[in-house]
Structure 1
Amino acid sequence: MHDATHRLPQRRALVTPLPGPRSAALAARRDAAVAAGVGSTAPVYAADADGGVLVDVDGNSFIDLGSGIAVTSVGASHPRVAAAVAEQAARFTHTCFMVTPYEGYVRVAEQLAERTPGAHDKRSVLFNSGAEAVENAVKVARLATGRTAVVAFDHAYHGRTNLTMALTAKNMPYKARFGPFAPEIYRMPMSYPFRDEPGLTGAQAARRAISRIEAQIGVDSLAAIVIEPIQGEGGFIVPAPGFLAALADWARAHGVVFIADEVQTGFARTGAWFACEHEGVVPDLIALAKGIAGGMPLAAVTGRADLMDAVHPGGLGGTYGGNPVACAAASATIAVMRELDLPARAREIEVAVLPRLRELATETPVIGDVRGRGAMLAVELVRPGSTDPAPELAKAVAAEALSQGVLTLTCGTYGNVIRLLPPLVIGADLLADGVGVLAEALRGCARRP
């Protein structure tokens, strides 16, 4: 990997108590203006960010182990992305591709056809968010197959629209009291090695799900299987080897569209361009967002040309989908990922961090499992001597790490998982410092009564 250069000093430095006075003042303004239903992980307000650090309005510099939930993989202000945004914005910010199309949209679609798994003929359509991408992938699958049923999995997270809430497994905070939800969604058991019965293989876990699909839905009614190759919000669950491939093979044999939700796992995050590649799986449709555009809002569905082109003209789109400024950012972001070989950098992060976390697990009985791929890593916390989830401990660890200048995120169906999503351009020393702070936070919180 070529060295990445950074505009801000890449160091952790706290200069005020947290939150500082300016963040506190902004919080008071927020309470008077922003809906209470919008939550925030940290009580500090961002003023600047670059590489692996985020600086708040009070001048505190934090190590960023969250990347805005896997978005700013090339950093939050990479100069090439910023220049592409500025150049495009100076020309035009919007025409609507459905009214007056432009080259940037076409260029991104070409890049997606080149980069996504499989050598088949592909087409793409661009949107604004991951939820839009997943929802439109389901639309394509239903229209192309003439079927209506859709399978999702335990612990899944696919978004906050009505249809994607139906696909999402976790009730609070995503679904509680927002129903009724879209119909013809069926939930099947996921391969979750830490919580499955011991010895259950990926093939066996797939057969468990398939047998229920065949009994409860029937192949002739099933339009699509929607799955995250590594589940994100559900707990960074890496299915047992062979699980994804067995599902994909069964789907292909029965004319069921296999949709990979790579919104969080895509674009070098797991050490490959897309997480499906680790299992040799080529999805029929792939939903993309987050890391695609360096922080600008952009999403896509890319897939088999026969499926995508089955939709009538005007059946897919949206006013802002494929915004020209976001497209310029995406092309620049993909170029940076390629030139810096960020899939390789993600693998380097795994090699540096995963052994440290596993060593920590041997001395800290509250760590039930350490898992992940590339720069998508997680620690699942439990009550000592059991597999009972410890969500309050996870919350305390994240709070303690923040108090020492390290931003981390929690996740999981049970709220008991600490997830690490550092920018792929983070320096080795900064990453080591951040993981060291997290380790001390885990040790300290585990010792509390």
Structure 2
Amino acid sequence: MLEVHGGTPLAGRVRVRGAKNLVSKAMVASLLGDTPSVLRGVPRIRDVEVVTGLLDVHGVSVSAGPDSGLPDGELTFDPAGASQGSIVDIDAHAGASRIPILFCGPLLHRLGQAFIPDLGGCRIGDRPIDFHLDVLRQFGATVDKTPGGIRLTAAQRLRGTKVELPYPSVGATEQVLLTAVRAEGITELKNAAMEPEIMDLVAVLQKMGAIISVDTDRVVRIEGVESMTGYTHRALPDRIEAASWASAALATGGDIVIEGAHQQDMITFLNVFRKIGGAFEVLEDGIRFSHPGGPLNSIVLETDVHPGFMTDWQQPLVVALTQATGLSIIHETVYENRFGFTDALGRMGATIQLYRECLGGTPCRFGRRNFRHSAVISGPTPLRGADIEVPDLRGGFSHLIAALAAEGTSRVRGIELINRGYEDFLDKLDGLGARVSAG
């Protein structure tokens, strides 16, 4: 439990390292190589611990750089001893993570078998694994359901295939990439996700020997290779963490320099940040975000796949929008159940109404499915301290921002979920002048 005394503007500097949504996938990719891989910029977050444990269970040696404190966030992965882990150990290390599904392709190539335990993850919408399993079947895998999970086997080398995604899903695109690179023949993936983290994964795989071409029409073609080597790579910075701290600066009336933030990957966010009334300055070592004073502006915003406004940026920014003048409309088109976190904001004094209709002007795939996926935020409304239970990773950080912006004291429970994606966030809060204490 975290006790937060709000009302203090956050000011100072924080550093972001490698993107959570790339680092974990690059770690899995190390299984595809015949020689060790080196990944730099690795953050100290729970998801990295989970994948490290899963790699260890499968016989991959994971070691830190010269300084065990990871000053450069360097990890080395040696897959020489790769083997099938026990069901009990896999289940114990997987926890609530959904990353085990992405182990399947590399493990099938290397060992001819893989096991997936029952999967968890953040409660933000439907994330079925059926599509992943169907794709693996197309590559030639046999899928057998067991009481404790799913076992996959491949009696012979996987074969390239043609896949068309009904929606440019990041997870499904990663699955195809990690499976296709060593499959026999050519794989064609249509309607692929093109997020910066996906392109960085493509860069990792290309360093390992993969042959991947990316067309402008979201078509990716992968020519399978028989073997791959390890890689040396620095992960791109975490644009989600950077936007989260930027939203915290805006919501609290603060001024934060985010070291490591890259303008190119955040252009869409920066445009919205400026429209709301926030100020930013691109520096040599990052981006400075601040509230310049005066009222904030309401906006109409729709989340979308890259290069649209990222769904993971939406939740932290909603907190800042509770302090904007007028009505803001947010239309969530990526996950159907991402506004559950607003219940706590309502108890803190925010005025937020959820709707089943596609507000904002563009119909989406959730419009006829009875999901409350549009939000109308009326502001400005003063926030007050409250007792909060963290619902998921991004919603949890949003609750933390609200507690920091609110008058009075909040008690935030379930902060371990925030550790999944935010490195040393308590130390960073302390450095920004926040008044927080762990209970």
| Structure with the largest fraction of helix | 1
TM-score under structure 2 length normalisation: 0.31
Between Structure 1 and Structure 2, the one with more strand by share is 2
TM-score, length basis structure 1 = 0.30
